[in-house]
Amino acid sequence: MNKYIKHITAVLGVAVMLFATSCGDDIADEITSLETSRLFSPTNLTIVIRNQVNAAISWKKVNNAKSYTLELFENGNENYEGTPLKSVADITSTSYVINGLLGEENYSLRVKAVGEGIADSKWTSETFKTDAEQIFYAIDPAEIKKTEVTLRWPEGETATTINVTPGDIVYTLTAEDIAAGAATITGLQKETDYTAKLLNGTRTRGTLTFKTKGDTTPVSVEDDLVALLKDADEGTIFSMLEGTYEYPTLTIEKNVTFKADNSNKKPILKSTIFHVKAGAALTLESLILDGTASSGDQAIVYDEDGEYGALTIKDCEIANYTKGTLYVNKKCNIVSVTITNNVYSNIECNGGDFIDFRNGIAQTFEYTNNTAYNSALGRDFFRMDAGGSTNFPGVTSKINISNNTFNNVTNNKGKRILYIRLASHEITFNKNILANTEGYYSNQTSTTIKEMKDNNYFKAPNFTASTQDKAINDAGTYTELDPGFKDAAKGDFTISNQDLIDAAIGDSRWR
């Protein structure tokens, strides 16, 4: 039996060789001219949610397709049964946008290719969910009181309740409220952070956060702010009226807040240097700090050793300071530093770095949703020296630098964005735009970056390919897209690049 099997195997082998020889020249031609009875299905089906309730859909072009058909179903119906919510035929491009979907809703979508003289392709499908809607208008600061707030949205837009937390307040909207697109919520606590949700049943139509007003001390340009500060109680909130205040020095020895009476009419503090002492906490909110003709020092200077309360800088415009913005050269342990929603410009940094900790430390350091441009051109940006850890060895500094826009800062290939040498720290550096700079990250072996992802580098080559000795480069997930700034020369960094908008990269004010 084995003998016969060997003969059969030999014959089959010869047959295969003869077939291969006779057909070899035609195999390539047959593969490249493959004919099928139907079109191939679209591939790379991608759905991006824009403005909460709009779906931008795209797919890869199919050879020989004359058009495409799209079907949309509600409730994430993966079986695609019943009548589609939306059906669109004769789409000649490889993209389509569906606007005005419901918020917080599951959908399923499928696309097929259509040709002539050939069967349609099979469907390519995907499911997705829209985001919560945001139809609330920004709150007018004048409509925020100590114990009430007025919230507004487009007139006639349907909703059922406004839920406010903390306090679990549920306000049932009337027909008059809906027609006016406005409602006043009462019974709030003064000086409290609240979140309000506009709901239609269980579906979110808008979300806002706000803080009720507290007991404040009104200040005008005619008042003596130095005297008011000296006589102030702990926790005083100075509510500053519109105008220009010229004080070369303000000494902070108590926990105080300086904020605009109306954030749409920011007061200007010209030439002012804040000197912080005696463990004080300081909040600056909705102010314009103009360092023109100042002493040449940093905008905020910590003058004495000690344990300090929180430093908060929020919604401010800070410009024209000579030496930097924040200087901590004493043995200061600051419980938290929160710098958010500010715009910095023309900070020269002559003799200091932009943020400059020499012997002090912040237990938490948050730098988020800020824009900085034309600053620290020949200096490091974030400097935190080892002296902070030497003086406070039990502190691990948590540093979060996220969703910022940096343009023409630290524009020197030998200077660093992260000159951080604390013995114990963790850095998160995500979703920032770094543009038009020759700077790089760091060359310090002690710099500890816990997470770095989704940053965008435009004309900023040294953040990914610095050749400095021991350079830290971004080797993770990043992009190098042109943000398409509207007018960088005039400080307008509105971005036009849709990919960056969709991915929520950079300072949110520009998206």
Q: pLDDT 10s digit of each residue in the chain, 511 long?
A: 433 333 333 333 434 343 444 444 444 444 444 568 899 999 999 999 999 999 999 999 999 999 999 999 998 878 898 999 999 999 999 999 999 999 999 999 999 999 999 999 999 999 999 999 999 999 998 899 999 999 999 999 999 999 999 999 999 999 999 999 999 999 999 989 999 999 999 999 999 999 998 889 999 999 999 999 999 999 999 999 999 999 999 999 999 999 999 999 999 999 999 999 999 999 999 999 999 999 999 999 999 999 999 999 999 999 999 999 999 999 999 999 999 999 999 999 999 999 999 999 999 999 999 999 999 999 999 999 999 999 999 999 999 999 999 999 999 999 999 999 999 999 999 999 999 999 999 999 999 999 999 999 999 999 999 999 999 999 999 999 999 999 999 999 999 999 999 999 999 999 9
From the list 113, 207, 124, 115, the residue with the least C-alpha distance to 163 is 207
Q: Specify the pLDDT at position 75.
A: 83
Look up the CATH number of domain 46-129: 2.60.40.10
Q: Which residues, other chains included, contact 289 with Cβ-Cβ below 8 Å and sequence gap of 6+?
A: 269, 272, 299, 316, 317, 318, 319, 321
CA–CA distance, 332 with 391 (Å, rounded to integer)? 8
Q: Are strands 300-302 and 169-172 parallel, antiparallel or unpaired?
A: unpaired
What pLDDT score was predicted for residue 182? 98
| 288-290 vs 268-270, strand pairing mode | parallel
The residue extents of the domains of the chain are 46-129, 141-211, 296-510
First to last CA, the chain: 80
pLDDT of residue 20: 43
Taking CA atoms, 255 is separated from 25, 209, 262, in Å, by 87, 24, 21
Note the CATH number of domain 141-211.
Answer: 2.60.40.10
Q: Do 141-211 and 46-129 have the same topology in CATH?
A: yes
**Which residues on adjacent β-strands are paired with residue 387?**
none
Residue 102: phi, psi to the nearest 5?
-75, 145
